[in-house]
A and B are shown apart, each in its own frame.
Chain A
Amino acid sequence: MKMREVKFVAALALGLVGCAGGVSDDEARARAEQVFRESFTHGNRQMAARVERQDEVQALCSRYRNEPPKDVAEKIEREQAAGIRYPASGKFLGDWRQGERIAQDGYGMRFTDPDTRRPNGGGCYNCHRIAPAEISYGTIGPSLYRFGALRGAGEATQRYAYGKIYDSQAYLACSHMPRFGHNGVLTEEQIMHLVALLLDPDSPVNR
């Protein structure tokens, strides 16, 4: 068998042949990577370097279009769960009022956000319904209204909420939700404030 045939059969075996456009998915992917690198040349080099280099999870989720096979999904979830750093204090609940501000705030890490001293926001309302007073909420994620009231606010739920915000993919591989702790978008303290917004009985989410 010639080398070319071997490659073709291998690609077929992996289910990666999709030949519209005359190229395999692997070739299209390689070409897309090159095009990507050549299309963000005028901005901040550090930012460019960060998006050019996908981490393993990003690369896998891109490849499988967010629907990884079971073994890949389990590997991602296992490894991401192992990377979660829980607060050393053993406490998960911060201040829900500060949590509400963080949930509203979309500031941070865009190329027009030069002030790195200003903390990043979580932008949670972009995708979730949370406190009932805010009617301008998105629907990409599930509603979190009454989260604590419905789930209970015990330590297991606190730990789950902290972990989910820290690294959503520890619970659902290739979730659309950013890995706020894992990727260094939000600090431990900020995540604790968000956990309080969801679980504190006094938070408007649960009142």
Chain B
Amino acid sequence: MPFHRLPAAVLVGVLAATLPCICAAQQDTQKEIERYRQLLAEGNPADLFEARGEELWKTPRGPKKASLEQCDLGLGAGVLKGAFAQLPRYFADTDRVQDLESRLVTCRVTLQGIDPAEATRNPFSAPGRPSDMEALASFVAGQSRGMKLAAPLRHEKELEAFRVGEQLFYRRAGPHDFACVSCHGENGKRIRLQELPKLTDPHDAQKIFTTWPAYRVSQGSVRTMQHRLYDCYWQMRHPQMDYTSEASIALEVFMAKYANSGEIQAPGLKR
């Protein structure tokens, strides 16, 4: 008898018999992943990036032979503690909304006299080619660890960035019709075994947004929020997103609105 013609009661019985085993297998997989995460969390290699970032922060460099210690990350020149917790934000001197990495580039250019192209030349490390940006971002983020995210979203341009980010979040394009919302619009979903946050849900957003930059075991390096977005668009079959582009910052502002009041746990640790 073809399977689909079996009486409904038998089908229900078959389903009832197979479901517990499917669920148990899923739970085991989930448990294994949790155990793996715990093992990883006992020592976060991001510590090394923070230490290198601190050294980069304090060492005079560039044509102006200046350190970054007078960098204004939004709370005034030289204020590190808690600055990351209030990004992205509008900066009057550049007249635009900036995230951590965009602002670090500004400081390297204005304080140290580094050429803008040079300052953004190597944002994402590769084996044997470490990135100063990854180290600096780790260091500055770590200075807000334990604080609550409080991206301002008050200035007219911050509000505009939110609206633009919102449009981009839902914008479907390319050969696969993907948008951010394709993967981040529902609770409890996965790609393969990787859990996906619903980024418009404060519960998920507060937990996830606050863990970037993060050391990624699969990549053997700290990766920044800029890299996270670049990597998402890669998977979405878009061309490479420009480093610190306006779209990337608009998306960060959009995400920050839902992540606000989440506790900063950056640099985090991920698969």
CB-defined contacts of A29 to chain B, threshold 8 Å: 167
A113–B189 alpha-carbon span in the complex (Å): 27
A184–B234 alpha-carbon span in the complex (Å): 18
CB-defined contacts of B247 to chain A, threshold 8 Å: 35-36, 38-40
B234 with A110: CB separation less than 8 A: yes
Which of A1-9, A149-157, A158-166, A190-198 lies at the binding interface? A149-157
Across the interface, A39 reaches (CB within 8 A) one of B2, B185, B189, B248, namely B248
Within 8 A of A (CB), among B238-253: 238-242, 245-248, 250
A4–B186 alpha-carbon span in the complex (Å): 38
Interface size range on A against B: 35 or more
CB-defined contacts of A38 to chain B, threshold 8 Å: 245-247
Cβ of A16 under 8 Å from chain B: no
CB-defined contacts of B159 to chain A, threshold 8 Å: 20-22
Which of B37-45, B64-72, B132-140, B174-182 lies at the binding interface? B174-182
Interface size range on B against A: 35 or more
CB-defined contacts of B129 to chain A, threshold 8 Å: none
Chain B binding surface, main DSSP class: mixed
B4 with A150: CB separation less than 8 A: yes
CB-defined contacts of A135 to chain B, threshold 8 Å: 25, 29
Which of B52-60, B74-82, B190-198 lies at the binding interface? B190-198
A126–B4 alpha-carbon span in the complex (Å): 27
Beyond A58-B173, A126-B191, whether A150 also contacts B156 by CB under 8 A is no
CB-defined contacts of A206 to chain B, threshold 8 Å: 3
Cβ of B47 under 8 Å from chain A: no
Which of A48-56, A83-91, A92-100 lies at the binding interface? A48-56
Within 8 A of A (CB), among B184-218: 185-186, 188-194, 196
B234 with A127: CB separation less than 8 A: no
Cβ of A31 under 8 Å from chain B: yes
B168 with A36: CB separation less than 8 A: yes
CB-defined contacts of A51 to chain B, threshold 8 Å: 173-174, 237-239
B163 with A23: CB separation less than 8 A: yes
A184 with B160: CB separation less than 8 A: no
A192–B181 alpha-carbon span in the complex (Å): 29
Q: Would you give the shortest CB distance from A120 to chain B, in whole angstroms?
A: 9
A140 with B171: CB separation less than 8 A: no
Q: Would you give the shortest CB distance from B115 to chain A, in whole angstroms?
A: 17
Q: Which residue of A lies closest to B229 (CB)?
A: A39
B4 with A151: CB separation less than 8 A: yes
Q: Would you give the shortest CB distance from A27 to chain B, in whole angstroms?
A: 8
Please, what's the 1-or-0 string for B1-41, where 1 marks a CB less than 8 Å from any CB in chain A?
Answer: 01110000000000000000000010001000000000000
Cβ of A116 under 8 Å from chain B: no
Beyond A51-B174, A149-B4, A179-B177, whether A20 also contacts B242 by CB under 8 A is no
Additional A-B contacts beyond A47-B238, A51-B239, A126-B191 (6; CB < 8 A): A29-B167, A41-B242, A62-B167, A149-B3, A178-B175, A178-B176
Q: List 17 A-B contacts (CB under 8 A).
A: A28-B160, A38-B247, A39-B245, A40-B238, A40-B239, A40-B247, A51-B239, A111-B239, A125-B192, A127-B191, A136-B192, A138-B189, A139-B189, A139-B190, A140-B189, A176-B182, A184-B175
Residues on A facing B (Cβ under 8 Å): 20-23, 28-29, 31-32, 35-36, 38-44, 47-48, 50-52, 54, 57-58, 61-62, 65-66, 109-112, 125-127, 135-140, 149-152, 176, 178-179, 183-185, 206
Residues on B facing A (Cβ under 8 Å): 2-4, 25, 29, 156, 159-160, 162-164, 166-168, 170-179, 181-183, 185-186, 188-194, 196, 233-235, 237-242, 245-248, 250
